[in-house]
Chains A and B, each alone.
Chain A
Amino acid sequence: NAGVMQNPRHLVRRRGQEARLRCSPMKGHSHVYWYRQLPEEGLKFMVYLQKENIIDESGMPKERFSAEFPKEGPSILRIQQVVRGDSAAYFCASSPDRGNSPLHFGNGTRLTVT
Chain B
Amino acid sequence: DAKTTQPTSMDCAEGRAANLPCNHSTISGNEYVYWYRQIHSQGPQYIIHGLKNNETNEMASLIITEDRKSSTLILPHATLRDTAVYYCIVRVARNTPLVFGKGTRLSVIA
Contacts and interface: CB of A to CB of B under 8 A. Distances in A.
Interface of A: 4, 31, 33, 35, 42-45, 48, 50, 55-56, 59, 89, 91, 93, 95, 97-108, 110
Interface string B71-110: 0000000000000000000010011111111110000000
A68 B43 CA distance: 21
B44 A97 contact: no
A109 B34 CA distance: 24
Interface of B: 32, 34, 38, 41-46, 49, 51, 91, 94-103
23 contacts: A4-B43, A31-B95, A33-B97, A42-B101, A44-B100, A45-B97, A50-B95, A56-B97, A59-B97, A89-B41, A91-B43, A91-B44, A93-B44, A97-B95, A98-B94, A100-B51, A102-B46, A103-B46, A105-B44, A105-B45, A105-B46, A107-B43, A108-B43
Contacts of B99: 45
Contacts of A59: 97
Given A91-B44, A107-B43, A102 B34 contact: yes
